[in-house]
Structure 1
Amino acid sequence: MPTAADLAAAVGQRLERTPYRIADPRPDGFTMRLDLADARWWGVLSRSGLRETHELVVRVTPDGRSYATTDRRMEVGWTAGPSGPVPHVGATLRASGFQGKTWTYSAKKVVGVSDAGRVETVVDYAFSTALGHRLVSEAAASLGLREKMSTSTKIGVVAAVIGGAMALVAVVGAVVSTVFMG
């Protein structure tokens, strides 16, 4: 049966011409990381920064027959100095994250004054989760592994089903009350 190290090696062979890298190898899996942005720049009167990463966490089951993936996306941005439509002195910090299964495409372009003193593009990327998923699924298929849902994905599916059922009950309730009481 294939091990997590076997899958990491098979994925690693496919990473040669991609921006991904293998990080955090563990006995039960690994993390495939992509740094989308790590930039600092000057605005009109402020200093800003952005660090954004996407990770695909891969875990192989103990029996070596299947694997699960979980997407993790983290973004931390900050601004210090006067900013906004009505400039005020201060600092802001924002952070966001996601963990689960996602199929997304995003692009970002930020123009600012670089540390070299030139107005230039300081953040520029286009990204799709499909590439990372495909790299892992092709490598896993070559080893005979099949994909299963991760725990966080199962929780998301259950929450979506419950939410959909509650919405359906509310709509049916509104229709029934309108028909019989209206």
Structure 2
Amino acid sequence: MTDPRWGEAFSTAFAQLTALWPDKVAIGAAVSGLCALMETDVALAYICFGALTADMTARVAVCCKRNRPLCRGLKRALPRYVCYLVFIVMAWAAQVAFQRGLHVGLPIVDIMLAYLILTDMASIIGHLHYLGVPVPPVLKWLVFGGREQLKRKAREAAGRERR
């Protein structure tokens, strides 16, 4: 058995991570600035795009299991980043319109991000189930039930604002 040289592996990984530090700080500052502009939670934005990336990875794994081309999975997954950004910008425009027109502060962007997160989690659970990964029933209930509850709350909030 050969020595894996753990110390050397950790120092190499640390050096690679620190080499990218300025770029990561710049990207993090840009995301935080956009979230501050949109008056939304930064953590929700990171969770949303993290869940989208996990969903894309699971989608590609399903394509591999089905012996379908990898490009087909990426073709369906990559445009979702652009669509999510469009949805978030539209939610932000609606939020600004409510604030300026009706002087009502609704967290529309946060609601949209939460909905997108729950949608991705439901998709990830579906992909994992297809791949044969055991998914606890309580997790299925939380994700699918949470998405339905979020839809219901959004409908109730929209109904109250119209009156």
Whose helix proportion is higher, 1 or 2? 2
Whose strand proportion is higher, 1 or 2? 1
| Both structures adopt the same fold (TM-score exceeding 0.5) | no
TM range (shorter): under 0.3
Asked which structure has the greater CA Rg, the reply is 1
- TM-score relative to the length of structure 2: 0.26
- TM-score relative to the length of structure 1: 0.24
